[in-house]
A = this chain, B = another copy of it.
Amino acid sequence: MRRLKYWQAISEGLVQCMEKDASIFIAGGGVDDPRGIFGTTLEAHKRFGAERVFDIPNCENAFTGVALGSAAVGKRPVVVHARNDFMFLAADQLINLAAKWKYMFGGRTSVPVLFRGIVGRGWGQGATHSQSTHSMFAHFPGLYVATPAFPDDAKGLIVTALRGHTPVILLENRACYELEGDVPEEMVPVQFGKARVLREGRDITIVGASLMAYEALRASDILRECGVSAEVLDPRSIRPLDRETIVASVRKTGRLVVADTSWSLYGFAAEVAALAAEEAWDYLKAPVRRVTPLDCPAPVSKVLEEAFHPSPSTIAQACLSVVKAEAALEKSVGDVQERFRGPY
């Protein structure tokens, strides 16, 4: 299998879907510009031209409605937000309309729009350009919310989204963009609601969403050196959420650490911890721990930014505290971000 970078896998997924389905188009600020959303829309633009890959004025809320209205009469739009933080402006259309459309209009019609939002971590992007909105959107029934960390999942989830009937919010972490992985050339759909076991283990379960799936895997490397065998799960989609796989793993290991790029309170980490309290309470050998951004807006200064985000080291540390291994973690592992210097 070829190895592709995350952004290449996204690009390939989009292009292949567009080849098969003429109703698909891509729209959003900058999708047709020389940078093509970190390269993800360049090939589609080259291949399908301005009719199917086009720039829009700055109107997040209206354009969300535009996408829904085109979907209502048969199109399959892909809407791109260069930063997922801009989607707050479209929250009404996303939550009050897209999520509820099928249900409140009696189940006969649906609006299968794929909304891509990029989490812009790195280089001090600060309070309004590096949040992760997945927990917020996943609170509301009617949407699918996916957080792929790996290239093949990114491609596979796009394929599924562009064949389904549900509005999908796909959150891509920019820090994943340069990561490489095996990606099937064909269009292999990845189901929503099916977690991926990234590594099997005995002592503790780490569930990591989005970039934190990758970081959890790196944490498990550290843990292995410390003699701890961690099972690492990537939910891939957080709505629907694969409760079964998570619960089975926690029941097996008896310990749980949840790592996430969104805040702890009322977030993904809370949900997974709650699952343990509901379904694995009598299997727990230790307290559950959440490893998330600190409870403040994202700061800019490098020293603060480093303290703000979870890293493999902080995940591993949390795991060690849970398994009560005595040795404090000496080694600190920098995050994947380190080399990023733009373009933003």
Residues of A bordering B, CB below 8 Å = 61, 85, 88-89, 91-92, 95-96, 99-100, 103-104, 126-128, 135-136, 138-142, 238-239, 241, 256, 262-263, 265-271, 273-274, 276-279, 281-282, 284, 286-290, 295-297, 299
| B95–A92 CB distance below 8 A | no
Q: How far is the CB of A134 from chain B (nearest CB, A)?
A: 9
Taking the closest CB of chain B, its distance from the CB of A246, in whole angstroms, is 12
Q: 11 A–B contact pairs at CB < 8 A? A: A88-B96, A99-B297, A104-B128, A136-B266, A139-B262, A139-B266, A265-B271, A266-B268, A274-B274, A278-B288, A281-B281
- Contact across chains for A100 and B88 when beta carbons are under 8 A apart: no
Distance to closest chain B CB from A98 (angstroms): 11
Extra A-B contacts (16), CB below 8 Å, given A104-B127, A136-B139, A270-B270: A61-B89, A89-B91, A96-B127, A100-B128, A100-B297, A103-B297, A103-B299, A239-B265, A266-B271, A270-B271, A271-B274, A274-B277, A277-B288, A278-B288, A278-B290, A281-B287
Given contacts A85-B96, A135-B139, A142-B297, contact A266 B267 (CB under 8 A): yes
Q: Which residues of the partner chain B approach A103 to less than 8 Å between Cβ atoms? A: 127, 296-297, 299
Determine the distance from Cα of A117 to Cα of B278 in the docked complex, in whole angstroms.
31
The answer to whether B297 and A135 touch across the interface, beta carbons within 8 angstroms, is no
Given A103-B127, A139-B136, A266 and B270 contact (CB-CB distance below 8 Å) = yes
Copies assembled: 2
Give bound CA distance, A241 to B104, whole Å: 33
Q: Which of B99, B266, B274 meets A290, CB within 8 Å?
A: B274
| Cα distance, A99 to B131, chains bound together (Å) | 13
A92 partner, pick from B89, B100, B141, B266, beta carbons under 8 A: B89
- Bound-state Cα–Cα, A338 to B256, Å: 43
Q: Within 8 Å CB of A88, what residues of B?
A: 91-92, 95-96
Q: Contact check, B128 vs A265: say whether CB atoms are below 8 A apart.
A: no
Which B residues are in CB contact (< 8 Å) with A286? 281
Considering the chains assembled together, what is the distance between the CA atoms of A138 and B236 in angstroms?
24
Nearest B residue to A60 via CB reads: B92
Given contacts A85-B96, A295-B141, A296-B103, contact A288 B274 (CB under 8 A): yes
* Chain B proximity of A65: nearest CB distance (Å): 12
Q: How many whole Å from A241's CB to the nearest CB in chain B? A: 7
Which of chain B's residues have a CB closer than 8 A to the CB of A265? Answer: 138-139, 239, 241, 271
Cβ B271 vs Cβ A281 within 8 A: no
B266 near A135 with CB under 8 A, answer: yes
Minimum CB–CB distance from A267 to chain B (whole Å) comes to 6
Task: Tell me the complex Cα distance, A136–B265, Å.
Answer: 10
Q: How far is the CB of A15 from chain B (nearest CB, A)?
A: 32
* Docked pose: A288 CA to B275 CA in angstroms: 9
